[in-house]
Structure 1
Amino acid sequence: MKTAANTRPACSVQEPFYKTLKDASPLQPFVGINPMFSPKLSVQGRTVAICLDESDSPSTFIEQHLMEAGMKVKRMTPAAHDELMALCQALPHAAILGFGLALARSSLDLESALEVMPPPMRTMMALLSRVLVNPPEVYWDIQLENDQANHQRSALAEGMERLMKNVRDKDYDEFRNDLQGISNTLGTRLSSGAVDCQHVFSLLN
């Protein structure tokens, strides 16, 4: 068995790396790393996703080092990681980019809009700007390389089609039922999420 240090890929898509590395060196242990925050932010209390073939294996050096630096560690398999990242990264990024594409097609004067922009719009503008100041290849890789991302983009498109249908049919009951279904999905997260949003909005005033 090889005694070399573990190979550690660090990216938002883990499974293709694992497959390629395992094919090249089946006996070599691998640890995948994906920090769930921007490098510009403080690491204290932030979560880092750690990908291992066996989630119950002994703690690795890199995990110990990250925790000693004040970060939280969340273990998962490469496949579970990519499925979760499709939901937590590819889906919101796709929604933000869709908003940006719609904004770019608007004929309204953006400077005039800034004077009356309510907090939800300002939040979306902030999210869009956050994406645009980073290298495009970061978001391209998340959308292209994660096989699970297409499912989330399709779900997003279907959601927009559902909204358009409800409005076109003037079907308020279905609209209300859809919102209730979303609330049920959020469950106990609904109240804390509303508090988070209020906090964000207060920062924008």
Structure 2
Amino acid sequence: MKFAVVVFPGTSCEVDTYNVIKNKLNENVEFVSHTSESLDKFDAILLPGGASYGDAVRPGAIANMQPVMKAVKKAAESGKLILGIGNGFQILLEAGLLPGALLKNKTLKFVCKPTLLKVENNDTVYTSAYEKGEQITIPIAHGKGNYFCEEATLEQLKANNQIIFTYTSENPNGSIENIAGITNKQGNVLGMMPHPERAVDTLFASIDGLKIFQSIVRNWRESHATNA
């Protein structure tokens, strides 16, 4: 399986994300520039966290206008796996690949700390290694992670089981319905504010994030073995 880690000016979590794929999963992975126009050779595309273009205008707004995003949208439409983490989630929202928006944290302060999440849906390519309802610890690091959407969109998210992770014990940013991560209706695009790439080693107090990446690889392999 081959992963792309897309890098924009201002991206800061690309090395952590790359290392998970390379050193924890032993899979092929490459950094891809924001100027790239094709992602055809990749099976999964990862949009890591940071502050692309300094979060000018809105987080993810300028990143969405870069050449690589046409390729990301093409990949999403073809069913390839797209994971956006932190700023990557913001970019996916700006691109219209996921519904809703991310507002300033309710406290108006940047928050960086471990958070307790609940796995709301484990029937996805990203969460099959978890148990439904499992509680996991994954850190957050953002100033604009307050997820919001209109009531009609929220009802659709619920009806289609698109709410994948929710904050439990506390809501650190004010997100509606405690939402921490969602997928598109097809289930191949996931956006989440918590950083699973920072929870893959006991040195960092949690390995709960590793199962997301393991789920991706396992489901991809099973799918391609079935189609072979």
Q: TM-score by structure 1 length?
A: 0.21
Structure 1 or 2: larger helix share? 1
Q: Kindly name which structure, 1 or 2, has the bigger radius of gyration based on alpha carbons.
A: 1
